[in-house]
Amino acid sequence: MTRSTTGPGAAPEGAAPPPATGPRVVVSGAGVRYGDLTVFDGIDLTIQDREIVSIVGPSGCGKTTLLRSVDGLTRLNSGSVTIDGRPVEGPTPGVSMVFQHFGLFPWKNVYNNVAYGLKLAKAPKERIAEVVPEYIDMVGLAGFEKSYPHQLSGGMQQRAGLARALAVEPQVLLMDEPFSAIDAQTREVLQFELLRIWETRPIAMMFVTHSIEEAVLMGDRVVVLKGRPSHIHEVIDVGIPHPRTRATLKSARFQEVTAHVWDLLMQDVIAAEREVG
């Protein structure tokens, strides 16, 4: 993985961010079983600080399960996950998750949904009052603080979900198909906004998606899961420096990596078709 996190325009005003501190998340020999079904086994994966790792794989291969076990929501049957060297035994401070289903509470307005994590962490009132508007603004929801989720479009709901995850200022951000329930145009807008946000405060990110383009656009590396039980089939170094823009989508390197991931995933689909046919 060779890349520069401080491309032009990425340097935030004020104090420079603390330097990258090596591995944040270490998954080693991880396996999860549900009864007779072994979802995955022997997964080894290290996510560095300030690194975005995309995870792709066929439906049901255990992407969500893997993310949930890093988040401490699902227990591993074998192997381990550590965050900053400490084994994960349950939801860990400093780890946030953005859900495919947004997971906003319908009875809370945007402000209170975004403040949820801080309130549970018993952050002081002044701090909540300072931080929450900042993140609402960052995701482009300024002016919608008092709106309720049912009054917002899917894209805006996920902006709120993102602000909620970021407001606790996590070191690790887990995203499970965050944009898959959102229309294509809004999705693209949100992808680049997320990249811009990440550039101002680069943290470790695991990004699960079904979209190969999204995986390559977001990821510094792309992890391809395959097989039954699934395992890491290949890890691709994307090798496109940040900041990434719409021009990235047209670059030769982007096309090349996308085509490669596409091939890896299609092999199975084609094989499966042959079996059926």
Partner 1 sequence: MTTRRTGTGESAAGGRPVSAPAGQGSTATEAVPLPGEPSSAPQAVPSGRARRERRRPPNWLLRLLTGVLILVLWDLGARMLESPFIARPLGVAQAVPEVFASERFWQDAWATIGSVVYGVLIGAAAGLVLGLAMGRIKLVRWFFTSYVSALYTLPMVAVVPLMTIWLGYTPETRLVAVALSAFLPIVVTTADGSRAIPKEYLDVARTFRARVHNIWFGIALRNAIPYLIAGLQLAIARALVTAVAVEFLAGVPGLGYSILQQTRSFQQNEAFVGVIVLTLFVVAARALLTVARRRFLPWYGR
Ligand X SMILES: Nc1ncnc2c1ncn2[C@@H]1O[C@H](COP(=O)(O)OP(=O)(O)OP(=O)(O)O)[C@@H](O)[C@H]1O
Taking residues 108 to 147 in sequence order and writing x for each that binds ligand X by CB under 6 A, - otherwise, the string is ----------------------------------------
CA 44 to chain centre: 18
Q: Give Dmax (Cα) for the chain.
A: 64
Instruction: Choose among 227, 226, 118, 209: nearest CA to 165.
Output: 118
Instruction: Choose among 276, 264, 182, 194: nearest CA to 230.
Output: 264
In the complex, the smallest distance separating the C-beta of residue 62 from Mg ion, rounded to whole angstroms, is 8
Query: Which range, of 79-87, 189-197, 234-242, 260-268, touches partner 1 by CB under 8 A?
Result: 189-197
Residue 91 found at the interface with partner 1 (CB under 8 A)? yes
> Please, are residues 214 and 186 in contact by the beta-carbon 8 Å criterion?
no
Residue 144 found at the interface with partner 1 (CB under 8 A)? yes
E-strand stretches of 75-199: 78-83, 86-87, 95-98, 172-176
Task: Show the tokens assigned to 88.
Answer: 């994960």
Interface positions, 12-71, toward ligand X (CB under 6 A): 34, 39, 57, 59-65
What separation, in Å, do the N-terminal and C-terminal C-alpha atoms of the chain show? 41
Identify which of residues 61 and 95 has a Cβ nearer to partner 1 in the complex. 95
Phi-psi region at 126: left, alpha or beta (left = phi > 0; alpha = psi -120 to 50):
alpha
Interface positions, 207-246, toward ligand X (CB under 6 A): none
Residue number of the CB closest to ligand X reads 64
Identify which of residues 48 and 64 has a Cβ nearer to ligand X in the complex. 64
In the complex, the smallest distance separating the C-beta of residue 177 from partner 1, rounded to whole angstroms, is 13
CA distance 8 to 265: 34
Select the residue interacting with partner 1 from 193, 226, 231, 260 (CB under 8 A).
Answer: 193
In the complex, the smallest distance separating the C-beta of residue 97 from Mg ion, rounded to whole angstroms, is 12
CA distance 179 to 60: 18
Interface positions, 98-117, toward partner 1 (CB under 8 A): 99, 101-107, 116-117
Residue 64 found at the interface with Mg ion (CB under 5 A)? yes
- To which residue do tokens 């009054």 refer? 151
> Please, are residues 113 and 105 in contact by the beta-carbon 8 Å criterion?
yes
In the complex, the smallest distance separating the C-beta of residue 114 from partner 1, rounded to whole angstroms, is 12
Identify which of residues 8 and 90 has a Cβ nearer to ligand X in the complex. 90
Query: Which range, of 4-12, 56-64, 103-111, 269-277, touches Mg ion by CB under 5 A?
Result: 56-64
Give contact residues for Mg ion (rule: CB under 5 A).
64
